[in-house]
Chains A and B, each alone.
Chain A
Amino acid sequence: MRGRPLLYTSYESDQAIFNTMAKKVFAGLGLLVLVLLPFNVVPGLGFLAAGDWLRLLSTVAIFVIGGLGLNILLGLAGQVSLGHAFFMGVGAYVAAVLGGDPEGVRLGFGLPLWIWLPAAGIVAALIGIAFGPAAVRVRGLYLAFVTLGLVFVGDYVFRNWISVTGGAEVGRTFPPLQFRLWKEEEPLIDFTSDGAWLGIELISEAKTFYFVLAAALLFMLLAKNLQRTRIGRAFQSIRDRDIAAEIMGVDEFRNKLRAFGISSFYAGVSGALLASFVGTVIPSRWDLFLSIQFIAIVLIGGAGTVAGVVLGTSFVILLPRVVQDATLWMQDVVKEGDSLLATLLDLVVATDSTDFGLVNTLPGIGPGLSVFQLNQVIYGLLIIGFLIFEPLGLYGIWIKIRNYWKGWPFTY
């Protein structure tokens, strides 16, 4: 079939993960770039090799896992959940109890990563399944609010269960990302300290990045495969019309339970990784805004696709940093003065209390927003802008661009 990339002669090749050559090449190249990032060899992306950017990229990878979970529930099975943060919290605390320091103040058994990470997912999944029947009874928006209740009940439990969570405003430390076979002193692989791997010097941020990247890739592969299985198709039929699905023999009850279970598994793993990555987490971390952030990730990326989740997560996590750097740069330009650009920006930026400007470089006083408040406003505006101008999300934009070039020069 050489030269006719869109001609599929079997169901398998149509359903393949990379069903075109271009996808294969791009996925391979993308992976290559990601793997090479910490070595500062990719032209134009050198700044990403710095520790703080690698940390942000690791955060993206961790949120991708959580986002994939919500995507399975929301994008595939069509069930809206505002309770994702709760399941992440459950995962995080399971990890903390199993992997935590046995001599520490809080409950901990000091078990290795290969136990606490899967366990975080499994326990979260069990609670998700236990919650499933409610989801069968309550539908649509009402389901969203039932799951919202879950966040608040979870917050209450997390605040009060001090031996496990450390309590409100104190929190606890989480097991570091270190791979041990059992409880030996020296970890077999340590993702949290600088040093050489196979003779290559790596900073700790790079190691952590590789670990979470690998985890994210694994979960992406699983999510992509789930879509192509019988279960995935059952989820989609429930999403499209639950009664029709039932008439066709899809068991609504069982599949909704499954959807909640799988989604919560992803959330649990993501929560455990996030807590372990940050090191210290207070119970209010698992609040409604985290849940909403995940809904934003799925919707901005484009519900229902794995690539969309990756795009959406990158957008939501990296945007605040980009906006912050831009506003700080603007402030610097104005402070240095003289150039034409500075004069232009000075119209927007106020440098002292008598100067007029939409933005004020003095936090807390005078009219106008501070740089940091502007940062928040731009973040909000971009979220709105995206949804207004491209309701299909970033993935939709990509499809448009692709289709444009596919038919080029015939743009119809």
Chain B
Amino acid sequence: MRIKVKWLAIFLVLGLVVAACGTSGEEESTTTEAETTATTEAAPTETTEAAPTETTEAEEMILTDVGVDLEAGTITVGLLSDLTGVFSALVQPVVTGYEAQVEAINAAGGINGLTIVLEIRDTGYSVDTHVQQYNEIKDSVVALGHSTGSPHTVAINQQLVEDNMFAVPLTWYSGWSDPALNANLVPHGTPYCIESMNVLGYLTDQNPDAATVAIASNAGDFGEDSAEGAKLAAEALGLEVVYDGQGKVNAADEATLAEVATAIVASGADIVWVTTSPGAYSGIYGQALAAGMTALWSGSFVAWNFGFLGPDSPIRDAIQRDWTFAYPIAPWSADNPGTNAARELIQAYDPEAPPYEYYLEGIVEAQLLEAILNAAYDSGDMTRAGVLAAAKSLESMSWDGLAPDQSFVGEPNDTVQRLVNIVKPSAADLEAGGSGLELIEANYTSDIAAAYQFDEACFDAGFGG
């Protein structure tokens, strides 16, 4: 007992001494230093509120705070990307496309002479790392060029609001247009649920005999938003939902694939809508094929991988017959000014890059960034708040066909993107040097997608709850 009391006493004394040293030492000798840190830490907010730096360099007054350095002539933009995690095979080319486009923008004079510098960080698709990496770069960037993953983006959303920064979510959850989340997000492209409505509308249009649909998806905003959209579409189109496997697929759990495949086969549906990752999608499709099922297959475009169409792929012929997808951007071999330029850009940037739509997605995002930064420059306000305001007042953004045009101003029902590009796997396209996706119909929107009154997320994932 004695030993304990003694140690407790010493520990307390030590603690007090340390505390005393800490406070008094700080007050006497290190006040100045502490203050300077305090001011540098607080600098961003102070300058925004009180007196933003003004400069006459470009004949006009440009306000700046964080991330834009007029003296060095740079604009720093962050990318939070999954470069080593489960979605790295999709996100890596997006980042490459982004870099290629930014290099091209800079070579062409940048944003009125200002060079865009990218601060790329790997999140490994972990929420913890995402938040940590955000905090690492937040004091040097003006905005986030993209932010990979939905729960990941939600986890930094509050900080985005506090820091007055915008981010482009690299997911297509319909809830991003919801005012509750939307304040600092700039979602582009067709949300998952509108995508479902478009494809199901298209498929029933082409195959009037189809009467039933089987739906299965991953759990979470990605899968369930898509599944919810498919159900809304089925109701509007008079399709009977013969299997509802919303949220039943877990791409990392083989057993769920067998379970869903069995149920889909048993349902005998005419149309199958499955939203999951490429490997899991091909697994469910393969098992249904092995059980002798024929149906029209579709699902979110995320399921597509050009490896399925390779000369050695066993499902090469079957998928050309069965699969249809809707892309939020143009497929690689689309022939329009925007896509042609993007394709050339990638081929010049890396001659060995395989044709793949995710490079184009990076270019789409970088062009959006360019338009926002140009608008902010023209308005003379390149503070974070100014850039955010510029992003939110982008009336008509055109990608020259690389992606359907989009507006970022107004009510969710007005801004939500409803246009998609209907594509089908095509070995001929792959052999001709394309990515294997043939553009069937550009800027397509089905009647139900066009008529859908969008006020809130189709599927409320309950983010932030």
A contact set with B: CB distance below 8 Å:
12, 15-17, 28, 31-32, 35-36, 39-41, 49-52, 55-56, 59, 101, 104-106, 159, 166-173, 194, 198, 200-201, 203, 205, 221, 274, 278-282, 285, 324, 352-353, 362-366, 370, 372-373, 375-376
Contact = CB atoms under 8 A, between A and B. Distances in A.
Interface string B443-465: 00000000000000000011111
A41 B33 contact: yes
B23 interface: yes
15 contacts: A15-B3, A16-B7, A28-B18, A32-B18, A32-B21, A35-B19, A40-B37, A41-B26, A101-B465, A105-B462, A159-B219, A167-B462, A201-B38, A280-B154, A372-B83
Point out which of B139, B158, B461 has the most chain A C-beta atoms below 10 A from its C-beta. Answer: B461
B41 A203 contact: yes
B221 interface: yes
Given A12-B2, A370-B83, A52 B132 contact: yes
B255 to A, nearest CB: 10
Contact of A167 (B26, B37, B220, B222): B220
Given A28-B18, A364-B93, A169 B30 contact: no
B196 interface: no
Given A32-B18, A35-B18, A203-B41, A41 B2 contact: no
The 8 closest A-B pairs by CB, nearest first: A169-B220, A105-B465, A364-B92, A280-B155, A372-B122, A105-B462, A168-B219, A372-B83
A364 B95 contact: yes
Given A282-B127, A364-B92, A372-B84, A39 B33 contact: yes
A170 B38 CA distance: 36
A55 B132 contact: yes
Interface string B338-364: 000000000000111100000000000
Contacts of A282: 127, 151
Nearest to B132: A55
Tell me which of B42, B99, B128 has the highest count of chain A C-beta atoms within 10 A of its own C-beta: B128
Contacts of B464: 105, 173, 280
A50 B140 CA distance: 13
Size category, B interface: 35 or more
Interface of B: 2-3, 7, 11, 14, 18-19, 21-23, 25-26, 30, 33-34, 37-38, 41-42, 81, 83-84, 92-93, 95-96, 99, 120, 122, 126-128, 131-132, 135-136, 139, 150-151, 154-155, 158, 218-223, 247, 250, 350-353, 461-465
Given A39-B33, A169-B150, A159 B84 contact: no
A366 B220 CA distance: 34
Nearest to A362: B96
A375 B30 contact: no
A200 B7 CA distance: 30
A255 to B, nearest CB: 22
B166 to A, nearest CB: 19
Given A51-B135, A198-B23, 13 more contacts: A36-B22, A40-B34, A105-B462, A159-B250, A167-B220, A168-B250, A221-B11, A279-B131, A324-B122, A362-B99, A363-B83, A364-B92, A365-B350
Nearest to A35: B22
Interface of B is mostly: helix
A15 B6 CA distance: 13
A17 B37 contact: no
B127 A278 contact: yes
Contacts of B218: 168-169
B127 A285 contact: yes
B220 A104 contact: no
Contact of A366 (B84, B219, B350, B461): B350
Contacts of B34: 39-41, 200-201
A170 B461 contact: yes
B132 A56 contact: yes
Nearest to B8: A221
Contacts of B135: 51-52, 55, 205
A349 to B, nearest CB: 15
A398 B445 CA distance: 67
Contacts of A171: 127, 151
B84 A362 contact: no
Contacts of A169: 150-151, 218-223
B84 A376 contact: yes
Contacts of B30: 39, 41
Contacts of A221: 11
Contact of B462 (A106, A194, A365): A106
Contacts of B353: 353, 365
A90 B70 CA distance: 50
Contacts of A28: 14, 18
Contacts of A353: 350-353
Contacts of B150: 169-170
A200 B19 CA distance: 13
Given A56-B132, A362-B99, A279 B155 contact: yes
Given A39-B26, A40-B34, A198-B23, A373 B220 contact: no
A308 to B, nearest CB: 21
Contacts of A173: 464-465
Contacts of A39: 26, 30, 33-34, 37
A125 B3 CA distance: 29
Given A168-B250, A281-B127, A363 B96 contact: yes
Contacts of A166: 462, 465
